[in-house]
Structure 1
């Protein structure tokens, strides 16, 4: 590793420790709304019933209802899938259509014949 890069990395590590110890304020703070906090709103954005949305993401209707009613919270792979659904719905719909054997054009990709 180049010395200048190593020195910059070490400065960053020292700064991180200062911020964690409360002796220094972070240079910037980023807040990201958790896109999966409102599962009913996410489902509504797809315009799907609970049954159809549950089928789209491969979960049971009971699991979806538990999420929507606040009895359970999505975690692990489900959380990631919901984030994909929220940020790139076209990708989720394309994968779902492929699984069903239909062709769906996805921007920027060539379809194989």
Structure 2
């Protein structure tokens, strides 16, 4: 698969995660009391609506971290804050201040700069 094709697939995956488009098919796997697994078919449009609601409910910090495809510890290290601080931002119980807000704005509008910093480490 070529690099530009991979970028297109990644954009499509992100659109599905955000609830912008419905996937072709969705299955949920459930473990039954006897230990066996059951696959249940879910309506793709219902799944899209659920994803859209979940994405809308996320805080800005959570959306930025998700877009950068970073774990909370990696995101915290990048911003120079504790993991607990990132968790508070994502739960909405704390707000980034000063320099952290500036770094989040850079990450939101110019994610390529953040990726460049990550790859240089």
TM-score normalised per structure 1: 0.51
**Which structure: larger Rg?**
1
- Aligned partner of 1:46 in structure 2 is 68
- Pair 1:64-2:86 in alignment: yes
- Aligned partner of 1:23 in structure 2 is none
Q: Per residue, is there more strand in 1 or in 2?
A: 2
Unaligned runs of 5+ in 1: 1-36, 101-113
Q: Per residue, is there more helix in 1 or in 2?
A: 2
Alignment RMSD (CA, Å): 1.4
- Matched residue SS, 2:81: coil
Q: Report the number of matched residues.
A: 63
4+ runs deviating over 6 angstroms: none
TM-score normalised per structure 2: 0.48
Distance 1:72 1:78 in 2: 12
